[in-house]
């Protein structure tokens, strides 16, 4: 069984890498704690969740880098570099490396990430709500200049729907152009 001694996130700047590490179930080995062992499929799932978190915060082009993507299949390869074996783990467009010193049962994980540009809402135009537009716009909690993602927009539209339902319009509908 191979113990994880470190998990490094390269290219992660929007979120605090220490905060990300704390939220992972995959943890580095702690003699007095739980876990600390690499479960590859579980770690892939956690990395997929990390990318989703970025996309939900407006980074629609967030991606993992430092490897050749596969066609959805899982791939593990090994390369010897001096006194260290470097393992490449890739599943589709998610990948990471694990460095293992020869003759040791420890690994050092490295995840290379590219955040990309954050998508910002320049202007949201609301029409057809007559005297309620400015009040509803405040209720949406989606000001011009804020980060944009589909999930943020869905939340804003839900707030707008609640605004109208509370005022006696239970069949309110929205369209996006």
Digit-coded pLDDT (tens) for 98-126: 999 999 999 999 999 999 999 988 877 77
* Contact present, 60 and 116 (Cβ < 8 Å): yes
* pLDDT value of position 49: 95
* pLDDT value of position 1: 57
Compare 130 and 19 and report the one with higher pLDDT.
Answer: 19
Percent of the chain with pLDDT over 90: 49
pTM value is 0.80
Burial (CB count <10 Å: 0-12, 13-18, 19+), residue 173? exposed
Compare 177 and 21 and report the one with higher pLDDT.
Answer: 21
* pLDDT value of position 117: 94
Confidence of residue 177 (pLDDT cuts 50, 70, 90): low
Mean pLDDT in residue range 26-43: 85
* Distance, CA of 129 to CA of 164 (rounded, Å): 9
Token look-up 């990395």 returns 47
pLDDT of 163 strictly over 90: no
* Contact present, 116 and 12 (Cβ < 8 Å): no
36: left (phi over 0), alpha (psi -120 to 50) or beta: left
Residue 29's closest CA among 21, 37, 39, 18? 37
Confidence of residue 40 (pLDDT cuts 50, 70, 90): very high
The angle that helices 133-140 and 150-165 make with each other, rounded to 10 degrees, is 130
Helix, strand, coil shares of the chain, percent, nearest 5, are: 30, 25, 45
* Contact present, 107 and 4 (Cβ < 8 Å): yes
* pLDDT value of position 126: 73
Confidence of residue 176 (pLDDT cuts 50, 70, 90): low
């Amino acid at each position: 069984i191979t113990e994880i001694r470190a998990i490094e996130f390269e290219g992660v700047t929007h979120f605090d890498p220490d905060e990300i590490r704390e939220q992972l179930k995959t943890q580095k080995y702690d003699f007095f704690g739980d876990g600390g062992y690499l479960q590859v499929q579980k770690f892939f799932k956690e990395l997929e969740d990390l990318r989703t978190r970025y996309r939900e915060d407006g980074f629609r082009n967030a991606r993992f880098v430092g490897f050749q993507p596969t066609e959805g299949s899982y791939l593990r390869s090994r390369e010897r570099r001096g006194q260290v074996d470097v393992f490449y783990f890739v599943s589709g467009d998610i990948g990471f490396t694990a460095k293992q010193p020869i003759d040791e049962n420890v690994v050092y994980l490295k995840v290379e990430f590219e955040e990309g540009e954050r998508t910002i809402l320049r202007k949201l135009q609301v029409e057809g709500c007559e005297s309620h537009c400015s009040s509803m716009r405040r209720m949406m909690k989606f000001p011009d200049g804020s980060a944009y993602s589909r999930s943020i927009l869905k939340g804003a539209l839900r707030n707008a729907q609640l605004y109208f339902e509370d005022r006696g319009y239970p069949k309110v509908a929205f369209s996006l152009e």
